[in-house]
Chain A
Amino acid sequence: MSSIETLQPVPRSDDTSVPPEFTTAHLRHVPRRYYGRWMAAALILLAFAFVIQAFATGQIEWKVVGQFFTAKAILIGLENTIIMTICAMVLGIVLGVLFAIMYMSPNPVLKNVARFYVWFFRGTPLLLQLLLWFNLALIFPTIGIPGWLEARTVDLITPFIATLLGLGINQGAYTAEVVRGGILSVDVGQSEAARSIGMTSLTTLRRIVLPQAMRVIIPPVGNEVISMVKLTSVASVIQYSEILRNAQTIYYANARVMELLIVAAIWYLAVVTVLSIGQHFLERHFSKGHRRARTVMAAPEGGA
């Protein structure tokens, strides 16, 4: 205690009264070296080099990969994959919002229908659902309003329609839960304030609740768009000619299995990369009122 009390409040480096063992001007700071990290990095790089070498010298005809990369069948498959991703996702989001609102409705019939929908389509495998839609003609030979508008199911349920229904309706069940979570994340006070300025329930939902719920909804839905790109490949089993199925058709003929699978993989990666960038900007847009606050609060910290 007594020694601390006798110290000057602020010792200065040029103060001759400072004892020699406390002078600091000539001292050098050396950051700690992490040898473990260097070792780990070296090992990983080595393993990586082996993999590269294996692929470079393996039985892969890279020329074939390049040759089929922009083949017409592959590009048509790519186009179909993208079209299906968009259509199925739009259907999924529309159904998701609809069933999320039904789920939260005070009407017990609407609520339980929404519950059943989510339970059924989340509870059965997607592949099974696709096969169910595709084979609908086995139980319903014709669809429509009898005597007025009827069509043979086989003509109506093309691979495109079966895939769209399968993927979209399945997606809707997941999106409904995401949307419901997003809506629940918005404080009740927000809708009370909206009603207090004379908004109807629908206007409140559209102008106040959904825009704020989007901040919570966008990241998981973004992930689901990305997984939808890849899920479309499941539709190859019901003859929808997306990219994987077209790649398969080609390698059944020329036996270049790995080369064509690599072509498909690169295209999937390309599409997913573009979508990830888009997701980033979308998230930024919908974090209005939250992102700014974060930077404002962080600023004084950085300055201090």
Chain B
Amino acid sequence: MPNVGRGAMVYAVDVEKYFGSFQALKGINLALPRGEVLCIIGPSGSGKSTFLRCINRLERADRGAIWVDGELVGFRRVGDTLHELGDRDLARQRLVCGMVFQRFNLFAHMTTLQNIIEGPITVQKRRRAEVVDEAMSLLERVGLADKRDSYPLELSGGQQQRVAITRALAMRPKLMLFDEPTSALDPELVGEVLAVMHDLAASGMTMIVVTHELGFAREAAHRVAFMDQGSIVEIGSPQEVLTQPRHPRTREFIAAVLS
């Protein structure tokens, strides 16, 4: 396993999050080495998505801290004081992570190609010709080069999600976050998206995948974490967590998903 600790891609310490009086995260600790694929499983409402969204600061953690690629997320540290970062700095920090959403969230007024090149051109100010070339070869890889001029609504869910993955990859992220990427898909379309994610995992990308696909977790993940009621109940190799879970709540959940 690659190095953990200071060199970790994600280092989360005692992360807590409240929505009003409801505590969504009750102190999450996690060290994610570079190159690792982590799958987070657990019942809905267990805080999996909230934690994922804290990592790229779509949600603000109320307590604790998260470091991504060695940089403290959302704050500037002066002595023992954490000063909240402004819009511009947050935007810059988010460049490290690519994110894939459950509902795809492709920009509805842009074609496939425009969706992919928007970030590199508008945000990273890269040259258009170069970005288009790279976008086309990425589209080639996910088998959607012929859809470059289609609008999102003309694509199937599976195609939209593959474009969304491509859009995130075009920003050259160091870490990919997947928030239930196959949950909104018709069953027959799940496979094509998982295949793209398998390829990505095999290419050495560091990934955190919130998912209900235990099969994917078993095959592609280095580690699996089971979350329940805002805590990581159990974390370990897929073999340990999925086949011989130690905690009774993990056992119940896996039995319920498999039945």
Contacts and interface: CB of A to CB of B under 8 A. Distances in A.
Most chain A Cβ neighbours within 10 Å, of B95, B151, B152, B168:
B151
A290 interface: yes
B94 A196 contact: yes
B146 interface: no
Interface residues of A, number: 26
Nearest to A213: B109
Contact of A195 (B91, B98, B106, B152): B91
A277 interface: no
Interface string B56-90: 10100000000000000000000000000001101
B87 A200 contact: yes
B123 interface: yes
Given A195-B94, A198-B94, A207-B118, A190 B123 contact: no
Nearest to A201: B87
Contacts of B118: 197, 207
Interface of B: 56, 58, 87-88, 90-92, 94-95, 97-99, 101, 103, 105-111, 118-119, 122-124, 151-154, 164, 167-168, 171
Contact of A289 (B97, B98, B110): B110
Interface pairs A-B: 4 shortest CB-CB: A293-B153, A197-B119, A193-B105, A189-B105
A192 B91 contact: no
Contact of B122 (A189, A192, A207, A211): A207
A289 B153 contact: yes
Most chain B Cβ neighbours within 10 Å, of A193, A211, A293:
A193
**Majority SS at the chain A contact face:** helix
A197 B167 contact: yes
B106 to A, nearest CB: 7
Contacts of B168: 196-197
A187 B153 contact: no
Most chain A Cβ neighbours within 10 Å, of B97, B105, B109:
B109
A211 B109 CA distance: 7
A292 B98 CA distance: 29
20 contacts: A190-B107, A193-B99, A193-B105, A193-B107, A195-B58, A195-B94, A196-B94, A196-B101, A197-B94, A197-B167, A197-B168, A198-B92, A199-B91, A199-B119, A212-B108, A288-B109, A289-B110, A289-B152, A292-B151, A293-B154
A203 B58 contact: no
B108 A290 contact: yes
A288 B124 CA distance: 25
Contacts of B122: 199, 203, 207
B58 A196 contact: yes
A7 interface: no
Contacts of B97: 196
A199 B58 contact: no
Most chain B Cβ neighbours within 10 Å, of A194, A201, A289:
A289
A296 interface: yes
Interface in A275-304: 288-290, 292-293, 296
A235 to B, nearest CB: 38
Interface of A: 187, 189-190, 192-203, 207-208, 211-212, 215, 288-290, 292-293, 296
A197 B101 contact: no
Nearest to B150: A292
A221 B154 CA distance: 28
A296 B154 CA distance: 7
B202 to A, nearest CB: 24
A140 B151 CA distance: 56
A290 B109 CA distance: 8
A187 B101 CA distance: 13
A196 B123 contact: no
B181 to A, nearest CB: 13
Nearest to A206: B122
B85 to A, nearest CB: 12
A193 B106 contact: yes
Contacts of B109: 211-212, 215, 288-289
A196 B56 contact: yes
Contacts of B56: 196
B123 A199 contact: yes
